[in-house]
Structure 1
Amino acid sequence: MSKHFDNTDRRILKFPAVNPCQSVPPATLLASLIILSGKILDFQSKSFATQKRNCRETIRQVSLLHIFFEELCAGERVLSDSVAVSFSELHLTLQKIRFLLEDCSRDGARLWMLTKCEFLATQFWILIRAVSTALDVLPLSLIEVEDEVKEVVELVRRQSRKARFELDRSDGNAKKMLLSILDQFEKRVEPDSGDVKRVLDYVGIRSWSECNNEIKFLEEEIAFECSDCVGREVPFLSSLVGFLSYSRGVIFETLDTRNLDETQGDFRSNMQVFNCLNTEDFRCPISLEVMLDPVIISTGQTYDRASIQKWLKGGNLLCPKTGEKLTNTDLVPNLVLRKLIRNFCAYNGVSLGRMGKQSSDITRTTVPDSQVASESMKFLSMFLTTRLAFGTSEQRNKAAYETRLLAKSNIFNRSCLINAGAVPPLLNLLCSTGSCTQENAMAALLKLSKYGTGKRLIVECRGLTPILDVLKHGLTWEARQSAAAAIFYLSSVKEYRKLIGEAPDAIQGLVDLMKEGTPCGKKNAVVAIFGLLLLPKNHHRVLEAGTVPLLIDILASSEKVELLSDTLAVISLLAESTEGAFAILSSKSLHLITGILQSSTSQTAKEYCVSTLLALCINGGAEVVALLAKNQTLMASLFSLLTEGTANAGKKSRALIKILHSFHETRSSGWIISSAVPCHELAIHER
């Protein structure tokens, strides 16, 4: 029975206790009570930032009950059914006590537990009184145990009835000080660092890494709140995140070296893992939205809980994807996939709770959820900018890393950092001889380049030159691939595409990264080249750099769907010019592109394939059409896109089908199309 209590993924301060079935025999209940009470005793070795006295007293009383349970089990006594009522109530109550102790000792939840100190004290009182009530109906006279053991039970019964679980005065004072600090932030007053340290020290947050863990926990809570479509506590949770973010950047001078290495290692390992993922698998087959709560049904298929529940409530007993009849309607949480989706969203700075609600997400990331979060971020931005410009080498590295983390979180943070003047000192740090500092500064600039004002300031501060230098000669691959990504965002501005295209070695630097870089580096280089190709004048420069053979190599070797689609996007753009079409045809890649069209599971990749083939027919002449016409299976793929693809994919498929039909009709009539005659006349109305 104890397996029900190992749910590590439950909401904090939510106690989903399982009421034992009435048919469970007393002996089975007793065995489970021994396991459950033993797990509660394990909390004796845990540290509690708050509720220390209440936790200790609760564990002490459960320890006495544990003695009673073990004595009953050791004697192998036959227990009457009348004992089951008391044992069932004790079982339910001890589950909740365990959950409560888990929350009070949970890493990352110390500050949150401090703010809930009154509620927690009340919960301890309620649960201990519930123990007393359960013992009141326990027929001790019918249980054959030593009198000393019965006295223990009586002791617990009396103490649990009289015990006073009150708010610890020191907890109350610490909470008042925290609320006072939040109030100062709201009034645009920077709090005294001594007061901030006292609050952090009280709950045991004494290092950068511990503070960072608290932030991560609260951000998960915010995601939960938003996913429940309630969000009542989001403003207060955001205030706490603002307070802790300020503390992490200002109070903790030393960045945990071990933690930094692990965090950057996580960035790199996550990068490698996510590079192998097809993120389309994150979408529910019913709603086509990212699954917030993936569950598995009896056929083995995974759906979002809300979608499949709606399907089942409609009276449907077939699997929506396979059509198989469901043997039962049980929904088993897909914890592995849920964790993967959450990690992916966290890595990409997306709030899981706001997925699928784009308008709300944009509002929340542009405007903070509370005034405290807003003002604390402004104070922190000014502090970090000063450190970036005038700090020691260690302080600059830490400030660059903090900026990197904050800029990744949301648009408002980027705005604050840019307004505080963080861009110029970050650009100066790109020339640093320290690999960590350069990497952090480049990653921070990448995040800031996503913001309109950030793009403008980077270019106006002559930041293009140092970014291109990092692209070519960066001290780490991570710095180089961040530089490539920054170039992509800068190229979203039309005037900057021209500047970058004309910059010496800019395109060649991207080509070199495509050739030598990591999978993530190659992807960033490919999308940056795509951005530059939006300016027609850059086409010749890209072709001259020898890009096409590298793109074809990526197509031939890449198993990653996103990299494949990005590469095909670049090839389709190049194919729109005669020079580009000639370079693609010279690489003898026509069979490769048609093969991807016929075998790929990605609709996006298929669309780019059709776009490329159509452009090659238009710019390559009748010889290209003749080669495609020989492929007897091509038509089936094109007709498939007419019904399954997007409107644009369907339009281009129809155009290509017309070209191929015209070729077959012309050949069957005995006319020969000269290869000198371009095919654009056959599809001019489709362009």
Structure 2
Amino acid sequence: MVLSGTLWKVFRRAHKGKALPGGELDLEPVIPTHFRCPVSLELMKDPVTLCTGITYDRDSIERWIESGNNTCPVTKQVLSTTNMIPNHAIRRMIQDWCVENQSHGIERIPTPRIPVASYEVSETCSRIVAATRNGDVKKCQELVGKIKNWGKESERNKRCIVENGACAVLASAFDSFSHGNIEENEVVLEEILGVLPWMMNNPSQDARSKLRSETCLNCLVWFLSGNDLSARQNAAMVLKEMPVRAIAKTEGVIEALVKMIREPIGPNATKASLTKIFQLVSSSDDDKERISQRFVELGLVSLLLEAIVDADKSICEKALGVLDCICDCKEGKEVAMANALTLPLATKKILRVSPLATEFSVSILWKLCDKEDEEVLVETAQLGAFQKLLVVLQVGCEESLKEKVTELLKLLNAYRSRAECVDSSMDFKYLKKPF
């Protein structure tokens, strides 16, 4: 039978085939059923067999078990053990099949590494404790590197490492080596610092208490102020988890945090730094005023405004939050008012980023719009703030925000007729920076 042109095209599209020189259709290979994981239905990369005799891809069956299931997905039998035996025979067959079909763009799956076992982590942690106690920098560095490599292999390994107390052990080692000459111990300290960030999601109380010691915090600030980009980022991520009161008393931390904003390394480091700055300037500590003034002296206001111009949602929220807090102090308010970007940006971000960003933006305008300062009120009205504030009321907001919006509307209402409205959606990227 000869297919018509249209039917031939439909046939080829349905089979995603390739035309060979002789005009024959080279159909893409179908993955054999026994090569697919029964859970994900995808080609297995690391086949393992449960006690029920069914083979699954390791990642899929681990997620199944970690979700609280205690049965085999296929047989529904209750698992007497969750031990997983690598199915080397199936894995080699899958690899051979991939090689045979390389011409179709199928890549050979790499031979998976055996996941780290709990006893291996525990043993390595014990050796790190001994090396730290003996002051054996080289040995400790080697063992930490081993944990680092395990963590790179898979998320499963990371969970296993954290669950077996590695965070507290490494925090203790960091504390111990930071007591000495930091420059002499820099390599091992940096190695530990490279592992701690992904362990800090839920650190033990022991780990927290070690890392918030005066020597540890001084060491973190030392790395934060340095030139090594990776070490600076890791220090920022760890410092984010430290208590505000302890950090506020650490010499050089304010300067180091401002440097992180002035010389950004990446989004994660910037977010971590802004989070800690926000905690410092919004705390109820008696030192809050002094801290805010110091941030202002170091030029943080201009840096925040520059970041807000085209930042993503998370960074924009954090930067606006910090700016809002800084406007509570006299010096911060004066510097913010003197910057040509403050009012336009605060107005523009209302209803443009998120409810939280809107709340901070309105609060900034509320603090800067003095009923005695006619020039500021006229400029704010010209930027279209009145219309935006009306929309905020219409869509609904919290009572505290509603009070500020209402007060601003009363102030701006008298200047609406005098305001020559400009486009509040203007692009600020090309405005001349005041710094």
Measure the CA separation in 2 of the matches of 1:442 and 1:425: 11
Aligned to 2:33: 99
Looking at structure 1, the residues matched to 226 and 81 of structure 2 have their Cα atoms a distance apart, in angstroms, of 40
Counterpart CA distance in 2 for 1:501 and 1:427 is: 19
Q: Identify the match of residue 384 of structure 1 among 103, 125, 132.
A: 125
Separation in 2, partners of 1:577, 1:666? 27
Shift in CA distance, 630/512, structure 1 to aligned 2, threshold 3 Å: same
| 2:346 maps to 1:594 | yes
Alpha-carbon distance in 1 for matches of 2:363, 2:320:
9
| Alpha-carbon distance change, 458 to 609 in structure 1, aligned in 2, over 3 angstroms | same
SS of equivalent to 1:489: coil
Aligned match of 1:519: 266
Change (3 A) 1:474 1:106: farther
1:423 to 171, 177, 191: 171
| Cα pair distance change 1:35/1:407, threshold 3 Å | closer
Matches within 5 A, 1:451-600: 451=203, 453=205, 454-460=207-213, 462-473=215-226, 475=228, 477-490=229-242, 493=243, 497-520=244-267, 521-535=269-283, 536-537=288-289, 538-556=291-309, 558-598=310-350, 600=352
Distance (whole Å) between structure 2 residues aligned to residue 621 and residue 382 of structure 1: 70
Distance 1:422 1:516 in 2: 29
Contact 1:424 1:461 (C-alpha < 8 Å) held by counterparts: no
The structural deviation recorded for 1:509 is 0.8
Report the equivalent of 2:46. 109
Amino acid at match of 1:540: Q
Q: 1:389 and 1:555, CA in 2 relative to 1: closer, same or farther beyond 3 A?
A: farther
Q: State the match for 1:183 in structure 2.
A: none
Cα pair distance change 1:458/1:448, threshold 3 Å: farther
In structure 2, distance between residues paired with 1:434 and 1:108: 41
| 2:200 and 2:238 in contact (8 A); partners too | yes
SS at match of 2:382: coil
Inter-partner Cα distance in structure 2 for 1:226 and 1:2: 42
Q: Secondary structure at the match of 2:340?
A: coil
Query: Paired residue for 1:445, among 190, 196, 205?
Result: 196
Q: How far apart are the structure 2 equivalents of 1:432 and 1:4?
A: 64
Q: Secondary structure at the match of 1:630?
A: helix
- Matching residue of 1:200: none
In 2, Cα distance between equivalents of 1:411 and 1:474: 33
- Residue of structure 2 aligned with 1:633, choices 358, 366, 384: 384
Cα offset, 1:506, TM superposition: 0.9
Distance in 1 (CA, whole Å) between partners of 2:157 and 2:274 is 22
Q: 1:396 aligns with which of 139, 144, 147?
A: 144
| 3-state SS, counterpart of residue 473 of structure 1 | coil
Deviation at 1:555, TM superposition (A): 1.8
CA separation of 1:233/1:3 partners in 2, compared to 1, >3 Å: closer, same or farther?
A: farther
How big is the shift at 1:514?
Answer: 1.1
Gaps of 5+ in 1: 7-30, 41-94, 121-213, 245-372, 669-687
The 3 A distance-change label for structure 1 pair 529 and 408 is farther
TM-score for both structures, normalised by structure 2: 0.64
Opposite residue 651 of structure 1, the aligned amino acid is: S
Relative distance call for 1:117 and 1:225 in structure 2 (3 A) is closer
**For residue 445 of structure 1, what is the amino acid of its counterpart?**
L
Q: Is the 8 A contact 2:381 2:412 kept in 1?
A: no
Q: Distance in 2 between matches of 1:524 and 1:233?
A: 42
Q: What SS does the corresponding residue of 2:306 show, helix, strand or coil? A: helix
* 2:365 corresponds to: 613
CA distance in 2, matches of 1:433, 1:99: 58
Structure 1 position 613, deviation (Å): 1.3
- SS of match in other structure, 1:576: coil
Contact 1:448 1:455 in 2 (8 A): no
> Partners in 1 of 2:191 and 2:141 — Cα distance?
13
User: Given the superposition, is the C-alpha separation of residues 397 and 571 from structure 1 closer, same or farther in structure 2, using an over 3 Å criterion?
Assistant: same
Q: Residue 267 of structure 1 corresponds to which residue in structure 2?
A: none
Correspondences of 1:264-279 after superposition (within 5 Å): none
Deviations 1:145-194 (A, max 9, x none): xxxxxxxxxxxxxxxxxxxxxxxxxxxxxxxxxxxxxxxxxxxxxxxxxx
Give the direction of change, closer, same or farther, for the CA distance of 1:654–1:543 in structure 2 (3 Å limit): same
State the alpha-carbon separation in 2 of the partners of residues 645 and 409 from structure 1: 44
Whole-Å Cα distance in 2 between the matches of residues 606 and 448 of structure 1? 33
**Partners of 2:409 and 2:263 in 1: how far apart?**
39
Change in 2 beyond 3 A, CA 1:667/1:516? closer
Q: Is the aligned partner of 1:622 residue 2:370?
A: no
Per the alignment, in what secondary structure is the counterpart of residue 389 of structure 2? helix
Letter in 2 for 1:469: W
SS at match of 1:503: coil
The offset of 1:636, in angstroms, is: 2.2
Distance 2:81 2:218 in 1: 38
In 1, the alpha carbon distance for the partners of 2:333 and 2:396 equals 24
Partner of 1:92: none
> Is the 2:346–2:364 contact (alpha carbons within 8 Å) kept by the matching residues of 1?
no
How far off is 1:575 after superposition? 1.4
Q: Quick one: distance in 2 between partners of 1:600 and 1:527?
A: 21
Q: Secondary structure at the match of 2:212?
A: helix
Distance across 2 between alignment mates of 1:528 and 1:464 = 13
Kindly, what percent of the aligned residue pairs are identical? 14
* Matched residue, 1:132: none
Aligned residues: 346
Q: Is the 8 A contact 1:597 1:637 kept in 2?
A: no
Structure 1 letter corresponding to 2:263? E
Does the CA contact (< 8 Å) of 1:625 and 1:660 recur in 2? Answer: no
Change (3 A) 1:543 1:218: farther
CA distance in 2: counterparts of 1:549 and 1:540, whole angstroms? 14
SS of the aligned residue for 2:305 comes to helix
1:124-151 residue CA offsets vs partner (Å, 9 max, x unmatched):
xxxxxxxxxxxxxxxxxxxxxxxxxxxx
AA matched with 1:484: A
Q: Which amino acid aligns with 2:35?
A: L
Matched residue SS, 1:118: coil
Q: Paired residue for 1:57?
A: none
**Partner Cα distance (2:71, 2:258) in 1:** 50
Distance change >3 Å, CA 225–CA 414, structure 1 → 2: closer
Aligned to 1:658: 407
| Displacement of 1:407 | 11
Rg comparison, structure with higher value: 1
Q: Within 1, Cα distance between the matches of 2:376 and 2:141?
A: 62
* Deviation at residue 567 of structure 1 after TM alignment: 0.9
Contact 1:629/1:660, CA 8 A, preserved across alignment: no
Q: Give the C-alpha shift of residue 437 in structure 1.
A: 5.9
- Aligned-residue offset at 1:642: 2.6
Per the alignment, residue 218 of structure 1 pairs with: 58
- Shift of residue 502, structure 1, vs aligned partner: 2.8
- Letter aligned with residue 34 of structure 2: L
